[in-house]
Chain A
Amino acid sequence: MCLGIPGKVVEVHREHEILIGKVDFGGVSKRVCLEHVPEVQPGDYVLVHVGFALSRIDEAEARRVFAFLESMDQLDELKVPSP
């Protein structure tokens, strides 16, 4: 029920005065209502739930956990193992 999938906005237009877009989910496209993310531009990623975009995906935030994991690695490297 909380199935939210990330997809890339390919194009945006209005239908019945509602903002609609074509969103590409890694090779499969679908029409999505973008009315609640009016600031999105083609190229942006959105989180989609039942044909409706709930929010825009923040690229910097998305990278955060991987930067955190890298820093964990670097900390480990600093601990020199005994020969």
Chain B
Amino acid sequence: MGASSEPATPLAALLGTCPLPFMQYDRVLLGHGSGGQLTADLIQRLFVPALGNGVLAALEDQATVRLPGGPEGTPGPRIAFTTDSFVVRPLFFPGGDIGRLAVHGTVNDLAVGGAEPLFLAAAFILEEGMPLADLQRIVASMRAACDAAGVALVTGDTKVVDRGKGDQVFITTSGIGTVPEGRSLSIHAARPGDRVLVSGTIGDHGIAIMSVREGIEFETLLESDSAPLIGLTRVMLAACPGIRCMRDPTRGGLSSALNELAAASGVGVELAEAALPIRPEVHAACEMLGLDPLYVANEGKLIAVARPDDADRLLQVMRQHPLGRNAAVIGEVVAEHPGMVVLQSLVGGGRVVTMLAGEQLPRIC
């Protein structure tokens, strides 16, 4: 199953013994963008080996790096750095638009790493023929989102491609923030006994997008939950500096975020289906479309892994914040079945929550 030559890195060697079939594609598939198994595969087998460095290989939501030192050997400051691209369709949807998403997404990747987001950059790839009024609306939305999140968009770029070569607009945002000394949240840090919390109802964003896509329109308005999480993460970390890890479960949903966490930390995760907070409308929409909310994207929620002694206090703190009103403890980290997420169903039988294999909802964020 492995390559015929020597593996390039120890990681590649590990993957060579992986029981999953080697994905023998010679072209990019839509599924490579789903945030599931194919995405992980592409990153692990193509990007990381080529660009190989320890920070990248850790595959956190953001990179925390130390800048070169100051005078007289003082350590340089720690900054967090992240980037994200946004290709969502439609451009305007209930609860937001691609611009708002682009700001929140990057702010959140920084916030869940324990950073204070400060500055964003935004690059626009525009398709010839896109109405300028739409672009104006998107940019105004980004301005409002930056102001609300307390960040400034300080630099950017614009490119235009021929009509038909780019779907109206794609936006890439990059962000930097500062990370206090001593703070180190990581997907490698979860330990058996830890509790898994979610900040609110799951599946809102993905269902909002689906609900306005052609062929599936609902008559009820279902809104995206797109929101900046920095206010919430700040109070969480102030109350519980020992939080192990936080992640924002965007594409691929809770499933991807938790599977990656389980694999990175070498632990198992057990979830209780009865504990998952979900809005009745989202539940109904998922039933109608045959979707599992565990795989549906969220854009204003986070998961947190807390030490057992901190969990109750953390939950209280979260619930006092507007973005954490429906926070809940949804599971536990265990030593059994490392790398695997298991769900205890409503009626008691268990099942494995596998990583998304293909693409469930393309162009979801």
Contact = CB atoms under 8 A, between A and B. Distances in A.
Interface of A: 3, 5, 22, 25-31
A22 B219 contact: yes
Contacts of B285: 25, 28
B290 A28 contact: no
B219 A29 contact: yes
B288 A30 contact: yes
Nearest to A26: B284
Contacts of B53: none
B220 A29 contact: yes
A29 to B, nearest CB: 4
8 contacts: A3-B288, A3-B290, A5-B284, A25-B287, A26-B283, A26-B284, A30-B218, A31-B219
Nearest to A23: B219
B290 to A, nearest CB: 5
Contacts, number: 35
A20 B219 CA distance: 14
B70 interface: no
Nearest to B289: A3
Interface in B198-214: 211
B103 interface: no
B222 interface: yes
Contacts of A26: 280-281, 283-284
Contact of B219 (A3, A5, A30): A30
A5 B287 CA distance: 7
Nearest to A10: B219
A76 to B, nearest CB: 19
Contacts of B211: 28
A12 to B, nearest CB: 15
Contacts of A28: 211, 218-220, 222, 281, 284-285, 288
A81 B219 CA distance: 55
Contacts of B288: 3, 5, 25, 28, 30
Interface in B299-357: none
Question: Which residue of A5, A25, A28 has the most chain B CB atoms within 10 A of its CB atom?
Answer: A28
Contacts of B218: 28-30
A27 B219 contact: no
A45 to B, nearest CB: 13
A22 B220 CA distance: 11
Nearest to B218: A28
Given A30-B219, A31-B219, A25 B290 contact: no
A31 B216 CA distance: 11
Contacts of A25: 284-285, 287-288
B8 to A, nearest CB: 45
Interface in B2-32: none
User: Which interface residue of A5, A26, A27 has the most chain B CB atoms within 10 A?
Assistant: A27
Contacts of A22: 219
Closest 10 CB pairs of A and B: A27-B281, A29-B219, A26-B284, A25-B284, A28-B284, A28-B220, A27-B280, A28-B285, A28-B218, A28-B281
Nearest to B220: A28
